[in-house]
Amino acid sequence: MADSAQSRLEQVNGAIALAEKEAGRMKGAAQLIAVSKTFAAEDIRPVLLAGQRVFGENKVQEAMKKWDELRAEFSGVELHLIGPLQSNKAKEAVATFDVIHSVDREKIARALKTEMDKQSKSPKLFIQVNTGEEEQKAGIAPKETAAFISFCRDELGLDIAGLMCIPPVDEAPGMHFALLEKIARENDLPLLSMGMSADYPIAIQHGATHVRVGSAIFGARDYA
Ligand SMILES: *Cc1c(COP(=O)(O)O)cnc(C)c1O
């Protein structure tokens, strides 16, 4: 029991509350997204039973398969797409997710706008910023972010809620969180999706409103 998903969830919630307090922020200022990617419905169920309702997945197809079933069992689930999105999956993404964290180019923004209008649904949208300007990583470059936000808002009429980043694995995350916070402030965006298992308390110091925590709750992932 000591090492169950429920007890790890409790520990993470405790660490979030402590980080909020130490940062002088309100309790509940940072929302926990439990990242359940690669885990099966039977692994997720105990975390739902423990009361968690906000979950993150990185693949549209995988999420639909698991969450159709789990949503039928549990009410009030809020599902976040945190992985890269292809425009040919925009339809499923809009149908399945309440929040999309990975808007990072015009084609995706247009495809989402089309589907949101068609389905009369408006998932909350975050723009992913590649703060480390890593070639292999998704996200828009920091210096192009302001123009992209304007494009989404003014040309497409999309309501952008905030920004998301994944810092480079080999760098201290604090400066990336600070950069994301600065870009959000300059563009009047209230929400910040940043911080994972290894660094969510640091992200909360820097103003994270959403932390995406997977392995600290579910254990190590098996990608086999
Ligand atoms: C997998 C993933 C997470 C969670 O990572 P952990 O290190 O397991 O907490 C957070 N954000 C994104 C975008 C991810 O893909």
DSSP 29-48: SSEEEEE-TT--HHHHHHHH
**pLDDT given at position 87:** 93
**pLDDT given at position 1:** 47
Mean pLDDT of 204-220: 97
Residue to mutate (ligand 1; options 212, 218, 222; most atoms within 8 A of CB): 212
At position 18, the amino acid (one-letter code) is L
The CA 181 to ligand 1 mean position distance, Å, reads 19
Question: Taking CB atoms and a 6 Å cutoff, what residues make up the pocket around ligand 1?
Answer: 35, 37, 58, 82-83, 166, 196-198, 212-216
Tokens of 154: 């003014």
Residue that has been written with the tokens 């009369």 in this structure = 120
Q: What is the torsional sign of CA 172, 210, 91, 47? A: positive
pLDDT band at 135 (very low <50, low <70, confident <90, very high): very high
pLDDT band at 224 (very low <50, low <70, confident <90, very high): low
pLDDT tens string 40-92: 999 999 999 999 999 999 999 999 999 999 999 999 999 999 999 999 999 99
- The reported pTM is 0.97
User: Measuring CA to CA, how many Å separate 60 from each of 90, 103, 201, 218?
Assistant: 9, 14, 28, 20
Tokens of 177: 């969180």
The CA 196 to ligand 1 mean position distance, Å, reads 6
| d(C-alpha 48, C-alpha 69), whole Å | 13
| d(C-alpha 24, C-alpha 169), whole Å | 27
How does the average pLDDT of the chain come out, rounded? Answer: 96
**pLDDT given at position 221:** 87
**pLDDT given at position 3:** 73
Higher pLDDT, 125 or 221: 125
In order, the DSSP letters of 73-135 are: HSSS-EEEE-S---GGGHHHHHHH-SEEEEE-SHHHHHHHHHHHHHHT---EEEEEB-TT--T
Higher pLDDT, 222 or 167: 167
Give the SS3 label for residue 25.
Answer: coil
